[in-house]
Structure 1
Amino acid sequence: MNLLTDAEAVKLFPSLQNLILIRDAGWKFLPIDDPGDPNAELDAARVWSNGWRDCIRVRDETDALGLRICVPADQHSAPTIVWERSGTLAEVVHQLLALPAPGMRLAPTLAIGTAPKLWTP
């Protein structure tokens, strides 16, 4: 099995460059439950300290959603969304990478909504 280099993959599929950018910035990609599902989405996250998370969900190169959420230490409270953008993969990736790190001046902190509370057994 021959694996493509990043450069070879980007030559075949230019939008992959955006995923390489976030991978190289420390993001982790989540496994896709059913890769054969035509509605499968690609999810990735970057975990910061103190409960902050940057997240992206990609349906295709023209449909992506980026979030910054704060997951409270209190397991009974829902995570809060402090930043949200949708658009093309390239737009959302560049906006996420331009966000100041949590705790930095101008980093978003005001809750604009709540994220779904994850069920835990």
Structure 2
Amino acid sequence: MNPITDAEAVKLFPSLQHLILIREAGWKFLPIDDPGDPDAELDAARIWPAGWRDCIRVRDETDALGLRIQVPADKHSAPAIVWERSGTLAEVVHELLTLPVPGSQLAPTLVIGAAPKLWTP
């Protein structure tokens, strides 16, 4: 059996176009522990220099969470959340892809919370 192309997959499941966009922007998808689990979530991250990470967790096309975190140099402190959005997969991917590059003048830097260790790929 031949794998299907991205175009064929999007034709079957249109919301996959958003995952293809972030993959093409350099995001890495994390392995799913139990793909047969009906509550399984899809996680992906984009790693920036200086400890910055953009992360997404997708439960389904209507339930996604995006974060920008900064992982501290010392491994004893929790990662800091500086940006967070939840919504549909399309909304969250759009917001993540339009976030300013970390370190740029308009990039978020104000810490709004602590990220769980799970979000440090």
Give, in angstroms, the shift of residue 4 of structure 1: 0.7
Give, in angstroms, the shift of residue 76 of structure 1: 1.1
Distance 2:67 2:31 in 1: 19
Indicate yes or no: 2:32 matched with 1:23.
no
Distance 1:102 1:66 in 2: 15
| Structure 2: unaligned runs, 5 residues or longer | none
Give, in angstroms, the shift of residue 117 of structure 1: 3.6
Q: Deviations over 1:45-64 (max 9, x none)?
A: 00000000000000000000
Number of residue pairs matched by the alignment: 118
Q: Is the 8 A contact 1:68 1:84 kept in 2?
A: yes
Could you state the TM-score of these two structures normalised by the residue count of structure 2? 0.96
| 1:1-121 to 2 correspondences below 5 Å | 1-117=1-117
Distance 1:10 1:39 in 2: 22
Give, in angstroms, the shift of residue 2 of structure 1: 1.4
Q: Deviations over 1:63-105 (max 9, x none)?
A: 0000000000011111000000000000000000000010011
| Structure 1: unaligned runs, 5 residues or longer | none
SS of residue matched to 1:76: coil
| Aligned partner letter, 1:111 | V
> Runs of 4+ in structure 1 displaced over 6 angstroms?
none
Could you state the TM-score of these two structures normalised by the residue count of structure 1? 0.96
